[in-house]
Amino acid sequence: MAAATGTVSKLFSSSSSSSSFPFSVPFPLSPKKTSLSLLSSHNPPISFLSSLSFPKLTPLKSSANTTQHFEEEEVEEEEEEDIVSETEIDEYESEIDIEDLEKEAKFAVKELSTSLSRQLTIEDDTDEKRESRKQKRKKATSKDIPDHLLPKVAIVGRPNVGKSALFNRLVGENRAIVVDEPGVTRDRLYGRSFWGEHEFMVVDTGGVVTVSKSQANVMEDLAISTTIGMDGIPLASREAAVARMPSMIEKQATAAVEESSVIIFLVDGQAGLTAADVEIADWLRRNYSNKCIILAVNKCESPRKGIMQASEFWSLGFSPLPISAISGTGTGELLDLVCSRLGKVEGPENLNEEETYIPAIAIVGRPNVGKSSILNALVGEDRTIVSPISGTTRDAIDTEFVGPDGQKFLLIDTAGIRRRAAVASSGSVTEALSVNRAFRGIRRSDVVALVIEAMACITEQDYRIAERIEKEGKGCLIVVNKWDTIPNKNQQTATYYEQDVREKLRLLHWAPIVYSTAIAGHNVEKVIVAASTVEKERSRRLGTSILNQVVREALAFKPPPRTRGGKRGRVYYCTQAAIRPPTFVFFVNDSNLFPETYRRYMEKQLRSDAGFSGTPIRLLWRSRRKMEKDEVKGATRPQVNLTPGSGKLAVAT
């Protein structure tokens, strides 16, 4: 009976579109709707009915009996389908080994990672790939000694002599921004370097400007802008900030020299000896004569000319060593000389991977929202320069920090991220590189602290940064800084503010919100507490039995919707294939039967029942039919991609 009515439904559905049928017949037609359609007052023409070939049907006595009969048939058919589906699940679990499913899940995660890395490109990723072999060699020889136990080597000198280029050469990667203009580096930048059996920290510093120069010359040497990003700052505050900038840079350089065992005094061989070089040499000799000072003459690419270029620097009272940071000429002799003044450091023994793992927290946001102030408040010192001048921070500044509970963190202060169009219109190469370093800081991090200014409206740029964080799969917390600037606060202010943030940053609906005033040090410690909680959630692995129990309850509460053809999605098995971020693979009959709304529902149920606050979670859907076809065709692997227009992740099947 069911087969007969199904045939009638197909016939009516196929004919209704082509013939002059006086009413529309929905597809698919249930048996009840089919019988009622045939017996309704909207009778089709006799010619149309005579042209159809009907199967033999039981004579219908009355419409009421027919309706009741077909309703019973429909219920029995649905019950039979449910029984068959449960049996199908048992057969599926018995046919396929769980270990094979786990392997498939891990491969799907690997494909997803590869796909995302292609999409989330950074302009200077080529430098990272070029130096990957150096990094592998460095990891092979590293003894996993904590940064604070390693001896430090500081690079100092006047602006634009190549300090950052030498820093990149010594650490073996493109960490510091190198541009042929003065005043690019302002904060202290640290990096690990190794040479032979020695390992040490190299510290890049900003150019030291002598006090004898006038204010105009200082601004020219440091390339300080008083216009870009400073429209809302009064002129008096602008001039005061510019006047303080040289002393702030020198303060950072002085701190680097004081904590270092060896000082590399870098000069420019092509420009020759200058008055600034003489003043810096006198300053080092007068205050740090107890330390090892190495005079390196940079930009000596030719060995023969290098000796002649270095000869005029003997008057500084140090033995000059000609080198070239760009080509690497003479850097081997420089490293030999540095290591001869450093003692060997033995790291702690029996350190496993979990003990050496230090979660990284990147502090990101638009310019002038207080990122550097938060870093300084956390570490309790002026680790980075804080100034109302937009774009003060250029490089990504790494700082080790120990939390109140003894947990170690790596804090990454980044440059302010402006809109791509604004960066392009400014024509600043330095700012473009700074934004790239900020994106690389997000990629290197485990948790991202997205800083927004309390009084400033959440802009489209904040949403773009949030979108990048979610796609990178990083844990996140939203830091509302400068909370003291909100007037007339009461108990409901934070509630209303949170509603506004959730509405405008829907991508980060799972991220906790922290309110702080970094300049006064209020509630800054909550940033670390929240980041520690997020990192634990991001690294948490859910047991397979518990996970499948959560999925079964979610399916029982709200089954997948049926398609117009009467098909419904079935979930056979689910497993967590990865952490950081938590990634779950669902093995189903057909992934196309699970619409985006239902996938969001499943994610919501996982969060409500299993936690994972502060971290994105990935749901990958693997079809059974696809797996069976892969086995027949020689185990062809699935392609993983982003579902268009949603930002959610799925396995294309």
**Tens digits of per-residue pLDDT, 51-93?**
333 333 333 333 344 444 444 444 444 444 443 344 555 555 5
pLDDT at 627: 53
Is residue 308 a contact partner of residue 284, using CB atoms and an 8 Å limit?
no
Which alpha helices (DSSP H) does 516-623 contain, by range?
525-538, 544-557, 596-610
Among residues of the chain, what percentage have pLDDT more than 90? 42
C-alpha distances in angstroms, 363 versus 174, 378, 399, 487?
Answer: 20, 12, 12, 26
More confident residue, 229 or 162: 162
Instruction: State the average pLDDT over residues 455-478.
Output: 93
639-648: burial string, b at 16+ Cβ within 10 Å, e else = ebbbeeeeeb
Determine which helix (DSSP H) or strand (DSSP E) holds 452, and give its type and residue range. strand 447-453
Does the pLDDT at position 48 exceed 60? Answer: no
Q: How confident is the model at residue 217 (pLDDT cuts 50, 70, 90)?
A: low
Report the alpha-carbon distance of residue 88 to residue 549 in Å, rounded: 19
* Token pair belonging to 157: 């000198």
Instruction: State the average pLDDT over residues 617-634.
Output: 70
End-to-end CA distance of the chain: 35
pLDDT at 81: 45
Mean pLDDT (the chain, rounded): 76
Does the pLDDT at position 355 exceed 80? Answer: no
pLDDT at 420: 84
Does the pLDDT at position 589 exceed 50? Answer: yes
pLDDT at 528: 94
Residues in contact with 88: Cβ distance below 8 Å, sequence separation at least 6, in sequence order: 570, 589
Could you count the other beta carbons within 10 Å of the beta carbon of residue 413?
Answer: 26
**Tens digits of per-residue pLDDT, 19-35?**
333 333 333 333 333 33
Report the alpha-carbon distance of residue 382 to residue 376 in Å, rounded: 5
pLDDT at 364: 96
Q: How confident is the model at residue 301 (pLDDT cuts 50, 70, 90)?
A: confident
Does the pLDDT at position 495 exceed 80? Answer: yes
Report the alpha-carbon distance of residue 171 to residue 131 in Å, rounded: 11
pLDDT at 168: 92
Report the alpha-carbon distance of residue 585 to residue 108 in Å, rounded: 8
**Tens digits of per-residue pLDDT, 387-437?**
666 556 666 678 888 888 888 899 999 988 988 888 888 777 878 888 888
pLDDT at 428: 77
pLDDT at 457: 81
Is residue 206 a contact partner of residue 249, using CB atoms and an 8 Å limit?
yes
33-69: burial string, b at 16+ Cβ within 10 Å, e else = bbbebbeeeeebeeeeeeeeeeeeeeeeeeeeebbeb
Residue type, 108: A
Instruction: State the average pLDDT over residues 360-367.
Output: 94
More confident residue, 23 or 333: 333
Does the pLDDT at position 245 exceed 80? Answer: no
More confident residue, 219 or 370: 370
Pairing of strands 198-204, 152-156: parallel
* Token pair belonging to 3: 């087969």
Does the pLDDT at position 175 exceed 90? Answer: no
Q: How confident is the model at residue 236 (pLDDT cuts 50, 70, 90)?
A: low
Does the pLDDT at position 378 exceed 80? Answer: yes
Does the pLDDT at position 462 exceed 50? Answer: yes
Could you count the other beta carbons within 10 Å of the beta carbon of residue 353?
Answer: 7
pLDDT at 392: 67
Report the alpha-carbon distance of residue 397 to residue 382 in Å, rounded: 12
Instruction: State the average pLDDT over residues 529-544.
Output: 93
Instruction: State the average pLDDT over residues 577-593.
Output: 93
Q: How confident is the model at residue 99 (pLDDT cuts 50, 70, 90)?
A: confident
Residue type, 637: R
pLDDT at 2: 44
CA nearest to 192, candidates 214, 217, 167: 167
More confident residue, 70 or 615: 615
Pairing of strands 189-195, 198-204: antiparallel
pLDDT at 47: 38
